[in-house]
């Protein structure tokens, strides 16, 4: 009788008490060429846009938190989910709200990079602007997001890399004079005194995340709520390229994919490639764009019938889609 009560007690605990794990599985997918709740995911103002066809779906990994031990075991046994220690996604000492804020910051950064990469790929005129500011940083009370940086201590700035190079010579405590244009006004000088960098006190820290923005009178917009992290960057860039160039980039096909992107158009690796491919196939994708560094894993776990295309840059991703449209076969993962 005692043993039975113990087993019953364990079963009750296992079905009620949250396990210290999260379940990872296929998450939502969104067509970056389409609308969500009536709002275009990607849009442009002040630039010529063109009709699109087909799909360019970004994919996500779903995270199920607060699950009981028994439910976690059942999800794992189904083969559709993978269990991971909760601490890998929600580090001890950080609240769920803090983790969500960090994911949103990464997402906002991916949007800025996606816009910059698309503009560079298309060869459109650009401006170097303040993409975001770190709270409490030396620049937080001096600059605003959207400010255009024309020069640093007399050195003209024409690219994000040029800005980073100019800031790289700065020293903590030595004032920098930035020529800044705000809201289209004529540039004026703003002084920022760099602080020691938190990770390296010998380096200067301004708290600026630079961005590449369209020319005056032009605006790009990427809007997608309740999605965090940086892995949609590639698909956002492709949607911008498609909408800003004549002729549908997909050729009417259902394309899905994933990958981070930097301001120069480099595509970086992501996690959860297996789950993203599964969801893509479920919704009807024919081809999946895979970051080059994820190709070995993707080739080993790809669902039957889903064509994989290896991409290391935005240029390569556009070329892969052009190849498909011409009836060819893009570089595959192997």
pLDDT class of 147 with cuts at 50, 70, 90: very high
Instruction: Give how far the C-alpha of residue 5 lies from the chain's centroid of Cα atoms, to the nearest Å.
Output: 51
Q: CA 211 from chain center: how many Å?
A: 14
Longest dimension (CA), the chain: 85
Domain boundaries, the chain: 20-121+218-325, 126-214
Phi, psi of 316 (to 5 degrees): -65, -35
**Which pLDDT value is given to residue 4?**
36
Same topology between domain 20-121+218-325 and domain 126-214: no
- Here the tokens at position 274 are 């297996």
pLDDT at site 95:
75
Contact 21, 66 (CB under 8 A): no
Instruction: Please answer whether residues 33 and 55 qualify as being in contact, where contact means their C-beta atoms are separated by less than 8 angstroms.
Output: yes
Q: Measure the CA–CA gap between 249 and 2, rounded to whole angstroms.
A: 68
Instruction: Measure Cα distances from 296 to 180, 256, 262, 308, 310 in Å.
Output: 46, 18, 22, 11, 10
Query: What CATH topology corresponds to 126-214?
Result: Pdz3 Domain (2.30.42)
Given a contact cutoff of 8 angstroms between Cβ atoms, the answer to whether 231 and 258 are in contact is yes
Of residues 183 and 106, more confidently modeled = 183
Q: 269 and 293 in contact (C-beta within 8 Å)? A: yes
Tokens 């210290």 found at: 20
For residue 71, the model assigns a pLDDT of: 83
The DSSP code for 68 is B
Both tokens of residue 126? 């650009």
The length of the chain in residues reads 334
Q: pLDDT per residue over 179-229, tens digit each?
A: 999 988 899 999 999 999 888 888 899 999 888 888 878 888 888 876 777
What's the mean pLDDT when you consider all of the chain? Answer: 87
Q: Which tokens go with 299?
A: 């080739």
Contact partners, residue 238, CB within 8 Å, separation at least 6:
32, 56, 249, 257, 289, 314, 317, 318, 321
Other Cβ atoms closer than 10 A to 304: 5
- Reported as type and span, the H/E element at residue 319 is helix 314-325
CA 72 centroid distance within chain? 29
Copy the structure tokens of residue 260: 């981070």
Mean pLDDT of 151-171: 88
Contact 105, 193 (CB under 8 A): no
Contact 124, 214 (CB under 8 A): yes
Band of the pLDDT at 118, cuts 50, 70, 90? Answer: very high
Return the residue matching tokens 């970056």: 32
CATH 3.30.230 matches 20-121+218-325: yes
Residues 281-313: tens digit of each pLDDT: 999 999 999 999 999 999 999 999 999 999 999
Which backbone phi and psi does 291 adopt, to 5 degrees?
A: -55, 140
Q: Are the CB atoms for 233 and 265 separated by under 8 Å?
A: no
Q: Give percent of the chain above pLDDT 70.
A: 94
């Amino acid at each position: 009788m005692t043993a039975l009560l113990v087993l019953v007690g364990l079963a009750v605990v296992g079905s009620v008490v949250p396990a210290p794990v999260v379940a990872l599985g296929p998450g939502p997918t969104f067509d970056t060429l389409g609308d969500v709740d009536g709002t275009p995911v990607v849009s442009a103002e002040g630039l010529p846009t063109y009709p699109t066809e087909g799909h360019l779906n970004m994919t996500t990994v779903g995270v199920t938190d607060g699950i009981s031990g028994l439910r976690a075991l059942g999800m794992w046994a189904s083969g559709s989910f993978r269990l991971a220690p909760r601490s890998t996604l929600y580090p001890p000492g950080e609240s769920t709200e803090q983790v969500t804020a960090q994911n949103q910051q990464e997402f906002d950064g991916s949007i800025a990079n996606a816009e910059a990469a698309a503009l560079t790929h298309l060869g459109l005129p650009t401006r170097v602007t303040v993409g975001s500011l770190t709270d409490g940083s030396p620049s937080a009370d001096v600059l605003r997001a959207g400010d255009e940086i024309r020069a640093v201590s007399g050195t003209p700035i024409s690219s994000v890399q040029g800005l980073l190079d100019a800031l790289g010579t700065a020293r903590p405590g030595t004032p920098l004079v930035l020529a800044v244009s705000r809201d289209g006004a004529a540039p004026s000088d703003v002084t920022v005194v760099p602080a020691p960098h938190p990770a390296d006190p010998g380096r200067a820290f301004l708290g600026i995340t630079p961005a590449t923005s369209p020319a005056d009178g032009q605006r790009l917009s990427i809007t997608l709520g309740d999605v965090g992290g940086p892995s949609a960057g590639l698909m956002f860039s492709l949607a911008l390229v498609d909408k800003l160039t004549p002729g549908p980039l997909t050729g009417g096909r259902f394309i899905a994919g994933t990958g981070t992107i930097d301001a120069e158009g480099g595509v970086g690796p992501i996690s959860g490639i297996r789950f993203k491919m599964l969801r893509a196939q479920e919704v009807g994708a024919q081809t999946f764009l895979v970051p080059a560094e994820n190709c070995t894993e993707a080739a080993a776990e790809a669902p039957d019938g889903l064509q994989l295309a290896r991409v290391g840059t935005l240029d390569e991703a556009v070329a892969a889609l052009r190849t498909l449209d011409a009836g060819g076969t893009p570089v595959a993962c192997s």
